[in-house]
């Protein structure tokens, strides 16, 4: 015998509630196979749940759309940071700068190794160190690093900060939308369970096949177990 399967995705929850409400809209309360209280819960809750799902999708779409800009800004600033450090290392190798100049940028004095630039925090940290360090050198009257200059590094660094903050705002908005949906999901499950139980109880006098047929009209879902499927082939 097939068993009733409650919705386990938001799309399925939405469909279940929409089907029950649509089937009920042209009927007076006394002809509904479930209680007026459940009908009122459904009617007032469904728009809120639907809007929460729309907002969740919209915030994710906006975040996804801006990701390309974010990724390109991140790529550029990483390139300029690493090139600036490489130019410093080349100048040291040529004897134009002493190795202790690396300490001004918070780099290890005896290492040519580039710092890790994997995460946003890495980039924010090293961009600031290079900018502060180079400004300190220039304040002492030393010759500025060129190709790239720290001004070029700063342009891309500040652009990355702007894009990073915007992406963070988009991510926060999406997280809030997800939390809202999570909060509503439990109520959706309760409403659906109550309605489905009441509908099945309303049709309990019918034979099993007719009861399921009537219940399906209101969105209930029944599925065969694997062995039952094979038996019905």
Residue 147 backbone dihedrals phi, psi, to 5 degrees: 55, 60
Average pLDDT, the chain: 94
The pTM for the full model equals: 0.78
pLDDT of residue 29: 82
H-helix segments, the chain: 10-24, 36-93, 120-139, 150-202, 208-216, 226-231
Could you give the CA distance from residue 38 to residue 119 in angstroms, rounded to a whole number?
A: 50
Convert the pLDDT of each residue in 140-167 to its tens digit.
Answer: 999 999 999 999 999 999 999 999 999 9
pLDDT of residue 226: 75
Could you give the CA distance from residue 90 to residue 96 in angstroms, rounded to a whole number?
A: 9
* 18 closest CA partner among 29, 7, 28: 7
pLDDT of residue 215: 95
* Domain total in the chain: 1
CB 81 within 8 A of CB 127: yes
pLDDT of residue 2: 86
Segments forming the whole domain that contains residue 152? 3-231
Prior bond of 148 cis (ω within 30°): yes
pLDDT of residue 224: 83
Could you give the CA distance from residue 21 to residue 13 in angstroms, rounded to a whole number?
A: 12
Q: State the CB neighbour count (10 A cutoff) for residue 121.
A: 8
pLDDT of residue 229: 62
pLDDT of residue 233: 42
Beta bridge partners of 118: none
CB 113 within 8 A of CB 136: no
Q: How far is CA 182 from the centre of its chain?
A: 13
Residue stretches of the chain with pLDDT short of 50: 230-231, 233
pLDDT of residue 228: 67
């Amino acid at each position: 015998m097939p068993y009733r399967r409650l919705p386990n995705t938001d799309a399925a929850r939405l469909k279940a509630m929409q089907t029950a409400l649509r089937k009920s809209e042209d009927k007076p309360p006394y002809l509904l196979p479930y209680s007026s209280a459940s009908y009122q819960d459904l009617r007032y809750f469904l728009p809120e749940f639907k809007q929460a799902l729309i907002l969740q999708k919209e915030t994710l779409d906006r975040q996804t759309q801006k990701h390309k800009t974010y990724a390109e800004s991140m790529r550029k600033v990483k390139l300029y940071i690493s090139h600036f450090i490489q130019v410093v290392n080349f100048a040291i190798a040529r004897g134009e700068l002493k190795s202790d100049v690396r300490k001004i940028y918070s780099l290890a004095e005896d290492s040519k190794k580039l710092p890790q630039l994997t995460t946003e925090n890495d980039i924010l940290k090293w961009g600031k160190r290079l900018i502060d360090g180079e400004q300190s050198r220039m304040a002492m009257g030393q010759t500025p690093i060129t190709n790239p200059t720290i001004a070029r590094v700063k342009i891309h660094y500040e652009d990355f900060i702007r894009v990073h903050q915007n992406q963070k705002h988009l991510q926060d908005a999406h997280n809030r939308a997800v939390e809202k949906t999570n909060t509503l999901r439990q109520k959706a499950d309760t409403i659906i369970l109550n309605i489905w139980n009441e509908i099945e109880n309303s049709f309990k006098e019918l034979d099993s096949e007719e009861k399921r047929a009537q219940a399906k009209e209101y969105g209930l879902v029944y599925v065969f177990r694997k062995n039952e499927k094979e038996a019905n082939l």
